Amino acid sequence: MFVFSVKTSKRRIGVLVLCVAALILIIIAAVGRPAAPTSATVSTSPAEGGSETKRVAFLRSLGYEVTPSHTAVREILIPDTFDEETNSYNELQKTAGMDLAPYHGKRLKCWSYEVLNDPSGQEAQAHLYEYQNTIVAGDVSSTEADGFMRALVSVGASQ
């Protein structure tokens, strides 16, 4: 059995109690503070997805006339770390207020739609990326090999 004794004054005990109380308040404030919104929550997206109707309505809200059903769907894995190409694509997403960074290591579904009214006059497709039935990214790109790729913004803003 060990006995430990400390000789101290009331003032030191009071200072110790105040320090512990201040530390507890700081911890409570840090834990209770709402998290800062991520880019994924502050963007023009996320828009509600999860159905053909909602995805088409989202594209139409941006001014795109698209085929009423998707032309392709695929699943992609967002890498844990971005290489130069993925980082460049994410920079394109950021210009539309979207960000793929919060989805590192996540699987997204990519829905493709034929764009019928692209301002370029070229054949184009809109690609919508969904995570848990929420549209979190997208682009419009030409079907030509040396074509364009633009951020998913309203038709008037994309020219």
Give per-residue pLDDT as tens, 66-92. Answer: 998 899 999 999 999 899 999 999 999
3-state helix, strand, coil in the chain (%, to 5): 35, 25, 40
More confident residue, 11 or 107: 107
Which of 158, 45, 34 has its CA nearest to residue 100?
A: 45
Whether the predicted model's global pTM rises above the 0.85 cut: no
Give per-residue pLDDT as tens, 23-59. Answer: 787 888 777 654 444 433 333 556 777 888 899 999 9
CA distance 80 to 58: 28
